[in-house]
A and B are shown apart, each in its own frame.
Chain A
Amino acid sequence: MADKVNNRSVFFNPFAKDNPVVVQVLGICSVLAVTAKLEPAMVMGLSVTVVLAFSNVIISLIRKTIPVNIRIIVQLVVVAGLVVIVNETLKAFAYDVSKQLSVFIGLIITNCILMGRLEAFAMANKPWPSFLDGVGNGIGYTIVLAITGFVRELLGSGTLWGFQVVPQSWYDAGYVNNGLMILPPMALIVVACIIWAQRHFNPDMQEK
């Protein structure tokens, strides 16, 4: 099986056709939590990509030695270790962002995408394809986070990346930020709209 894996499709499929969030519907929890603003959403996406890529490689390297009955525990230990390292690194080099993300970095451990990829891919494939798979899925996740964060921050706060983009004259003319956008349920609705648009333009993906 390992030889038949096509590196190209392993890397690019998760962007759209096999996107972890909008097709496999994994990792929805963190999409709700961190997409009220664009910047934390992007840092979260980057952190997940790093943790996913390296945990995939590590698990792939030791996949033949792992006793089957404790494989989930082994995966969790590796993921948890990497998450702590990412969290500590952010605290040392990007303190402001780590303050914004606070508990959500720690919660990467419970992100379903990680366990999903480790179980489904890294346990059965060589390190290099596993690395590509991790990076690909991480980027696929980040894309959805970025779109959701963009829409929610623009409509909910009138800013992008913290900068005011809706001009003051609009507010003077009666424009009001949509407060509903900053609440978690709107993340689900935005993600649902992305899924809708994607299925609309790819009829072959529609379930019968």
Chain B
Amino acid sequence: MNKQSSIYTIVYIVVLAGVVGAVLAMTSMGLRSRQQANIDADKMRQILSAIRIVPENGMIAQDFDKYVTRQIVVNEKGDSIGNDAFGIDMATESKVAAAERRLPLYVCDVDGARKYVVPVYGAGLWGPIWGYVALDSDGSTIYGAYFAHEGETPGLGAEIEKPAFSDQFRGKELWKHGEFYPVNVLKKGTKPTAGEDYVDAVSGGTITSKGVAAMLDSGLTPYKAYLQSLTAK
């Protein structure tokens, strides 16, 4: 058989692609449930981390059920439109216009105090960044925050996932003088123009820090109406 003929070459590559494709499909199917379990557990851990709970190994799902008492989905007007907050993919949801966006919200009970966890999603320097912001029952004071990223520069932008950065958010207020200002992220030494609360940016991670500020702005603002109803109570 002539191994250099066009027919042989075409048949060879088609067969090879078929075999490799089949092997990959099998691997993907075989591992999917395990991967999904890991992804879900990781998401639960991140939400718990915003309300300052660090679950022990293997206790993530139990702790999540224990602290997260209710999940709700609201719209921009503040009306409840569902209850499967966990199933909402923030990556796709953040592309929808704010007026039509489904806004997931986790209602948590930490030692008798009610907390609201709001997921946020945005862009850093190299890829997506996301986080969870836990609010006190007044709908304004930040109780805790958690941030994560996909591929920011280690030692620079990647520092946003460290507690040194996220702990700065504790105690900051979203409502100032009756106006809604998502917390700003500013270079050390600079002051915000509108008098809103702010935290220090990561040094050497300017674009990632700006991404966090933009993410908080676009991610928290749609919740304004709902949070206002909490503040009014």
The answer to whether A and B assemble together is yes
Name A's B-contacting residues (CB within 8 A): 36-37, 65-70, 73-74, 77-78, 80-81, 84-85, 88-89, 91-93, 95, 99, 102-103, 156-157, 179, 182-183
Whether A102 and B13, one on each chain, are in contact in the complex, defined by CB atoms closer than 8 angstroms, is no
Selected contact of B35 from candidates A70, A78, A91, CB within 8 Å? A91
Within 143-175 of B, Cβ neighbours of A (below 8 Å) are at 150-151, 154-156
> What are the interface flags for B175-187 relative to A under an 8 Å C-beta threshold, 1 for contact and 0 otherwise?
0000000000000
Given B16, B38, B42, B151, which contacts A74 in the complex, CB threshold below 8 Å? Answer: B16
What B residues does A103 contact at CB under 8 A?
151
A183 to B15, CA, bound (A): 44
- Expressed in whole angstroms, the Cα–Cα distance for A179 and B9 within the complex equals 52
Please list the 6 inter-chain residue pairs (A to B) with the smallest Cβ-Cβ separation, ordered nearest first. Answer: A182-B155, A95-B38, A92-B34, A92-B31, A81-B20, A36-B154
Q: How far is the CA of A67 from the CA of B7 in the complex (A)?
A: 11
Q: Is the CB of A77 within 8 A of B35?
A: no
With A78-B20, A85-B23, A183-B155 already in contact, the answer to whether A92 and B4 are too (CB < 8 A) is no
Task: Please indicate the chain A residues that have their CB under 8 angstroms from the CB of B38 in the complex.
Answer: 91-92, 95
Contact check, A156 vs B155: say whether CB atoms are below 8 A apart: yes
B24 touches A70 (CB 8 A): no
Question: Which B residue's beta carbon lies closest to that of A183?
Answer: B155
Instruction: Output the least CB separation between A87 and chain B (Å).
Output: 10
Against A, the Cβ 8 Å flags (1 = close, 0 = not) of B20-32 are 1001100110010
Which residue of A36, A65, A91, A156 is within 8 Å of B3 (Cβ)?
A65
**How distant is the Cα of A93 from the Cα of B4 in the complex, in angstroms?**
43
- List the A side residues contacting B156 at CB < 8 Å: 182
A89 vs chain B, min Cβ distance (A): 7
The CA of A80 and the CA of B28, in the complex, are separated in Å by 14
Query: Which chain A residue lies CB-closest to B17?
Result: A77
- Min Cβ gap A71→B in Å is 10
**Contact call A88/B35, Cβ cutoff below 8 A:** yes
Residues of the A chain whose Cβ atoms lie less than 8 Å from the Cβ of B35: 88, 91-92, 95
Q: When the two chains form their complex, are residues B9 and A102 in contact, meaning their CB atoms are under 8 A apart?
A: no
Contact B27–A69 (Cβ < 8 Å): no
> In the bound complex, how far is the Cα of B14 from the Cα of A37, in angstroms?
41
10 residue pairs of the A-B complex, CB under 8 angstroms, read A69-B4, A70-B12, A73-B13, A77-B16, A78-B20, A80-B20, A92-B35, A95-B35, A95-B39, A99-B42
- Quick check: A70 and B9 within 8 Å, CB to CB? yes
Assess whether A157 is in contact with B20, with CB atoms less than 8 Å apart: no
Bound Cα distance from A61 to B35, whole angstroms: 32
* Chain B residues whose CB sits within 8 angstroms of the CB of A99 once the complex forms: 42
Closest CB in chain B relative to A184 CB, distance in Å? 9
A68 contact set on B, CB distance < 8 A: 3-4
| B154, A182: Cβ atoms closer than 8 Å | yes
